[in-house]
Amino acid sequence: MFVVQTESDDNHSEDDDRELVQRSLQGDTQSFRLLYRRHQQRVRAIFYPLCAGSVLDDLVQEVFLRAWKGLPKFRQTAKFSTWLYRIAWNVASDQRQAAAKGRSQLEVLSQHAPLQQNPVDVMHLHYQDLVQRGLVKLSLEHRTVLVLHDLEEFPQREIAEILDIPIGTVKSRLFHARAAMRQFLEKEGVQL
Amino acid sequence: MSLLPEDDPRLTHFVKQHRPIVPAADPTLEQRIMTLVEKMPRAISSQPSNWQRWRRRGMWLLPTSIAAGLVAISGSQLFLSPQPTETELAELETFIESTWQGTVAEQPTTETEELYPLVGEGAVN
């Protein structure tokens, strides 16, 4: 397991993506492989809070296969990453049922955590579990906006584009998602 | 636009700090995806995208639209040009008749007509 580096894939330029898309459209699968390497980590980071970890690889695979099939329909004037994350959102929506059955992060962590922990690590694990449980309590729509905005730091305008909703709806969902998350954490004894 | 608070920095910081840890991908995932991708190669470049098709259609539509616009404008000018009223037509007809009579008369019949060829018979008598 590793901690997601949210900025790790942001250094490449959109121009590079466009070039790789063009080559992929010519049938160059190696260029598509590079697109996968550039974006897979962020796709995983978006997916994981939305869906069960056990199906994460399958969902990532589904996203990139849909992207490959859908490349001819991709408008060259659009941003590739936005288009890709929109596919991810569609896949996540399709998996809504599975998402509702997500396991508690505490179960996952307890399987991997070493037996002896110092108090700081234990608190960190406890808080991680709380955040995960708080996210699971949110509706998929609210959770998605919170993940994209507060964790992945997407601008609201791009979130609106990815989810195909008005920017006012993004603001509204973000407000309600934060309020619900804050209420959950405070109820669990977290002082914010 | 709304009274919703834009930020909740303490909450955001907490959630970010304790965000769920994403499990690493299966080491074979990339190759699995690429194998599936390579199994469905296609001559993508020979198929124009919807966007390209739309643009091509747009280029064909452009001159057609201009021509249709010109026809519509000229047609509307034809129908919208002012039509003379019945009174105006009657006046015009009278004027043409009097002018015409004066023009085609082979020879003046009276001295008055000779001097004033445009004056009608009523005026002479």
How large is the average pLDDT for residues A139-155? Answer: 93
Q: Best of A31, A152, A169, A178 to disrupt the B interface by mutation (most B CBs within 10 Å)? A: A178
Q: Token pair of A63, please?
A: 């996203």
Host H or E run for residue A138:
none
Q: Do B61 and B72 fall within a single domain?
A: yes
CA distance A8 to A3: 11
According to CATH, what is the number of the domain A9-101? 1.10.1740.10
Higher-confidence residue of B72 and A35: namely A35
Whether residue A172 and residue B42 make contact (CB cut-off 8 A), yes or no, is no
Structural domain span for residue B64: 53-82
Q: Is A105 on the interface with B (CB under 8 A)?
A: yes
DSSP B88: H
Check residue A65 and give left, alpha or beta (phi > 0: left; psi -120 to 50: alpha): alpha
Q: Is A32 on the interface with B (CB under 8 A)?
A: yes
Q: Best of A51, A122, A131 to disrupt the B interface by mutation (most B CBs within 10 Å)? A: A131
The tens digit of pLDDT for each residue in B17-52 reads 999 888 889 999 999 999 999 988 664 544 555 555
Q: Do B93 and B104 fall within a single domain?
A: yes
Higher-confidence residue of B122 and A47: namely A47
Q: Do B99 and B110 fall within a single domain?
A: yes
DSSP A52: -
Residue B46 lies in a domain: no
Number of domains in chain B: 2
The tens digit of pLDDT for each residue in A121-134 reads 788 888 999 999 99
The tens digit of pLDDT for each residue in A53-106 reads 778 899 999 999 999 999 998 887 788 999 999 999 999 888 775 555 554 443
CA distance A163 to A88: 10
Residue A106: predicted pLDDT: 38
Q: Do B89 and B117 fall within a single domain?
A: yes
**Averaged confidence pLDDT in chain A:** 82
Task: Classify the C-alpha dihedral A49-A55-A59-A60 as positive or negative.
Answer: positive
Higher-confidence residue of B23 and A2: namely B23
Say if pTM beats, i.e. exceeds, 0.90.
no
CA distance A11 to A81: 13
* Amino acid (1-letter code) at residue B13: H
Residue A53: predicted pLDDT: 76
Q: Do B125 and B89 fall within a single domain?
A: yes
Domain borders along chain A are: 9-101
* Cβ neighbour number for residue A29 with a 10 Å cutoff: 15
Residue A3: predicted pLDDT: 41
Set of chain B residues whose Cβ sits within 8 Å of the Cβ of A171: 1-2, 4
